[in-house]
Structure 1
């Protein structure tokens, strides 16, 4: 399994107890969607390693789980800070007009029909999620919200946007100095 074929479910916060249990943060809209989780991929270096769960106790802020064959505090400590991943086909289905942020990468962003750039990445940073793209050789960050991102056309690989006046200019002016 490759990282590109997966989405990040969350990460290991810290150990819990002395018998290999860990606290995890599920970085998802509804953690309770994952209360029947049977396995995850743990990113170790650049490799995804499969782990089966003995159990999981889901809570909104942190959940407690126990992986099979992780039976000691020392084994659990090695997992602290590791990312947890699941295959993309595990994502819950969305309503029409909705999208997952990772689906925006690689799409061309249009502002009133004018090509601005291809989305390089998406940053999920509170309080504002951002699209990152390159325009005229400069990185431009665009907020993801319903007033700016009007629609996404996956068939045409386009994001239709209504950018605030002067947003692009700010990035170009800052980089000229």
Structure 2
């Protein structure tokens, strides 16, 4: 039986000599990295269960130390690996909240039914997320996830409807 897992980050480097790893977060939930939480590092297509011993933010990255991995040599092989959680670790969301994996891949249309493209990634630069839409041709479109623009999200249909404000699609 295959266990469904969801990516929450990527280990981009080690940090210091005490086994900390630098994580580029692709989860919008900081509590994913709370000490005591378990995560899985995917190494050679196999999940390795790890327990978070410590977490802090440093220069926009999450720095995490795993229980039993208190040395740089132990975490060095994890560089470039993806961090995941199991499906049962997902938490319930409020209305109008979505997981990244639910949004990425959705088709985006304007309110007058013009197809713009597919959401390929989500950026978190600050106050609100920015959805990156890959068009068939031309540059990617950046859409801020705000009520004024995003009018409808239908996860089951894989469809997002936006009302572009002036200059957004230029």
Q: Post-superposition shift, 1:86? A: 1.6
The 8 Å contact of residues 5 and 84 in structure 2, kept in 1 or not, is answered as no
Partner of 2:74: 75
Partner of 1:7: 7
Partner of 2:134: 133
2:139 pairs with 1:142: no
Distance change (3 Å), C-alpha of 1:23 and 1:93:
same
How many positions carry a matched residue from both structures? 161
Partner of 1:108: 107
- In 2, the alpha carbon distance for the partners of 1:132 and 1:164 equals 16
The structure where helix makes up a greater share of residues is 1
Distance change (3 Å), C-alpha of 1:114 and 1:44:
same
Distance change (3 Å), C-alpha of 1:26 and 1:109:
closer
* TM-score normalised by length of structure 1: 0.68
Distance change (3 Å), C-alpha of 1:141 and 1:43:
farther
Instruction: Work out which of the residue numbers 37, 48, 54 in structure 2 matches 1:57.
Output: 54
Q: SS of the residue aligned with 1:23?
A: strand
Partner of 1:153: 154
- Structure 1's unaligned 5+ residue stretches are 171-177
The 8 Å contact of residues 12 and 84 in structure 1, kept in 2 or not, is answered as no
- In 2, the alpha carbon distance for the partners of 1:83 and 1:154 equals 24
Superposed CA deviations along residues 124-147 of structure 1, whole A, max 9, x for unmatched, are 152562322324x33431313212
Worse-matched range after superposition: 5-14 or 148-157: 5-14
Counterparts of 1:113-124 in structure 2, within 5 Å, are 113-124=112-123
- Structure 2's unaligned 5+ residue stretches are none
CA RMSD of aligned residues (A): 3.3
Q: SS of the residue aligned with 1:138?
A: coil
Distance change (3 Å), C-alpha of 1:12 and 1:86:
farther
Q: Post-superposition shift, 1:13? A: 4.0
Q: SS of the residue aligned with 1:114?
A: coil
The 8 Å contact of residues 23 and 64 in structure 1, kept in 2 or not, is answered as yes
Which of the pair has more CA radius of gyration? Answer: 1
The 8 Å contact of residues 120 and 134 in structure 1, kept in 2 or not, is answered as no
